[in-house]
């Protein structure tokens, strides 16, 4: 097996036994990126010098016996995480040459444990998209079929795992942006409970919805990564002061007696036949392992997409007001005055989808419309949250599809934003409720594209969804399939 094929725990074992060095693993990963990224376009910035320097330091740690499970492991980050001294663009021309002066907390935690950064990953601009087509640096392509999208907005994070360009990656999930690309690329993607992981140093899209999480080859790696980045951060007032369990202890492969909810609103007639077949097989697999199924209702599901696109765009309008051409980022050349500089800098720096969402959000927050739109959406959000809490009174986890269809072709939905927005219909409610969810490989379409299974847990119920996801993974072979890139 090639070094770039290994999981975190497999590479750790080899590093521990001194069968390979971090420098060798990192060089193998950099060579893999060079060989494949012209096709995939998963990276915006590759950092060979920083990576090899980090790998050398990791090898010194290993030699000294102060080794962590992440020491020497080559990782990559969605380009939404601030990295001191390394360009951070958020997939936008407006931040094309921005060099942050400090690190995001989640990356700092990984770096302190000896992880190696091989680069920054492509994404939808400002995390606004479901397909990674809105990036100012060109679309990322799905390693399983380069004519198809990898999902979004963390498309680079999932594509890099599927193309074996990083051992693990970090993404962000505002409405499904980790779980959806993980499903389309045949990876594991974990969205933690809101407040479980610090958002400090993560460029904001919608602050009440954004959450940081890992994209990995298997569930064990997801548990390792979550354990490394979770925990209270005094620099993030929304992070929760709550002990971080050892998530790897949930990897029991035992779901006997686990009560799994099937929400009738998610198993709809418009579901792609291949997705429906994968869900049916997954349910039978869990039954065979002794899990129990309960039909549940999440009655306000139909309002989730509309609710999300009011709240998220309103928060985006506020968050993106700082990109004005004054303090950092793109500034228009030769403006006629201050107002002209603001207008031209934003018009030149932002792409079409970002402009669309800023305008939607500004309208929703404007005088006379705030109560009718934004305030009403917040009330609906509370109802959606109550739906989940009520369901978790009777079940341990909830099983749903991740997406209505497998990955679609690049360009297929760019002219119809509403169709694009509906790609996240099964993932958005989890963000609105602030709870946790995980996507695991659960099948293949007739066209050879991965299909994902979503497991949703109660708030801070990551241990339950990791346990259920790992059991399914151990009972099936979907996670070991590889894109033939």
Active site residues: 78, 153, 177
State how far Cα 212 lies from the chain centre. Answer: 7
Structure tokens at 358: 């800023």
* Chain centroid, CA 184 distance in Å: 12
Collapse the DSSP code of 13 into the 3-class scheme (helix H, G, I; strand E, B; otherwise coil) and give the result.
helix
DSSP string, 133-156: -S-TT----BTTBTTB---SSSHH
Note whether 68 and 58 are within 8 A (CB): no
Count H helices and E strands in the chain, helices first. Answer: 15, 11
The set of residues, in sequence order, having a beta carbon less than 8 Å from that of 53 and lying 6+ positions away, is: none
3-class SS at 372?
Answer: helix
Burial (Cβ within 10 Å: 0-12, 13-18, ≥19) of residue 335: middle
Distance of alpha carbon 278 from alpha carbon 284, whole angstroms: 10
Strand 450-457 with 188-191, pairing: unpaired
Query: Cα–Cα distance between 466 and 222 in angstroms, integer?
Result: 8
| Cβ-based burial of 379 (10 A; exposed 0-12, middle 13-18, buried ≥19) | exposed
Report CA Rg, the chain.
21
H or E stretch covering 338: helix 338-349
CB 144 within 8 Å of CB 447: no
Best CA proximity match to 24, nearest among 63, 51, 64, 45: 51
């Amino acid at each position: 097996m090639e070094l770039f094929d290994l999981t975190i725990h497999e590479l750790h074992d080899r590093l521990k036994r001194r069968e390979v060095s971090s420098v060798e693993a990192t060089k193998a990963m950099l060579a893999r990126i060079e060989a494949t990224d012209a096709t995939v376009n998963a990276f915006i910035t590759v950092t060979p010098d920083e990576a090899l320097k980090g790998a050398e330091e990791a090898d010194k740690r290993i030699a000294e016996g102060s080794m962590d499970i992440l020491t020497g492991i080559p990782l990559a980050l969605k380009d939404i995480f601030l990295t001191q001294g390394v360009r951070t663009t958020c997939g936008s021309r407006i931040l094309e040459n921005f060099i942050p002066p400090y690190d995001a907390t989640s990356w700092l935690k990984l770096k302190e444990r000896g992880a190696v950064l091989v680069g920054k990953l492509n994404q939808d601009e400002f995390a606004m998209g479901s397909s990674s087509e809105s990036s100012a640096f060109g679309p990322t392509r799905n390693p399983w079929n380069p004519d198809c999208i990898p999902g979004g907005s963390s498309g680079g994070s999932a594509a890099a795992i599927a193309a074996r360009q990083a051992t693990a990656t970090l993404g962000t999930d505002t409405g499904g942006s980790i779980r959806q690309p993980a499903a389309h690329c045949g990876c594991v993607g974990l969205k933690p409970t809101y407040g479980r992981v610090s958002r400090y140093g993560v460029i904001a899209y919608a602050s009440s919805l954004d959450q940081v999480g890992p994209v990995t080859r298997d569930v064990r790696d997801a548990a390792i990564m979550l354990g490394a980045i979770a925990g209270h951060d005094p620099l993030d007032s929304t992070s929760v002061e709550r002990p971080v369990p050892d998530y790897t202890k949930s990897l029991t492969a035992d779901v006997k007696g686990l009560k799994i909810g099937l929400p009738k609103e998610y198993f709809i007639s418009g579901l792609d036949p291949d997705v429906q077949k994968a869900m049916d097989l997954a349910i039978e697999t869990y039954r065979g392992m002794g899990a129990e199924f309960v039909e549940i209702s999440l009655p306000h599901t139909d309002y989730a997409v509309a609710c999300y696109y009011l709240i998220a765009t309103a928060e985006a309008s506020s968050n993106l007001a700082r990109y004005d051409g004054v303090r950092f980022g793109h500034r228009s050349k030769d403006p006629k005055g201050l107002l002209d500089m603001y207008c031209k800098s934003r018009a030149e720096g932002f792409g079409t989808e970002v402009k669309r969402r800023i305008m939607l959000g500004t309208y929703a927050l404007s005088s006379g419309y705030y109560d009718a739109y934004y305030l009403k959406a917040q009330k609906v959000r509370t109802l959606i949250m109550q739906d989940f809490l009520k369901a978790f009174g009777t079940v341990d986890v909830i099983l749903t599809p991740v997406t209505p269809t497998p990955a679609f072709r690049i360009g297929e939905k760019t002219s119809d934003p509403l169709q694009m927005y509906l790609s996240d219909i099964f993932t958005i409610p989890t963000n609105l409720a602030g709870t946790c969810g995980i996507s695991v490989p659960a099948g293949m379409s007739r066209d050879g594209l991965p299909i994902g299974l979503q497991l949703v847990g109660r708030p801070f119920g990551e241990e339950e969804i990791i346990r259920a996801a790992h059991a399914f993974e151990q009972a099936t072979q979907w996670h070991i399939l590889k894109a033939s890139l």
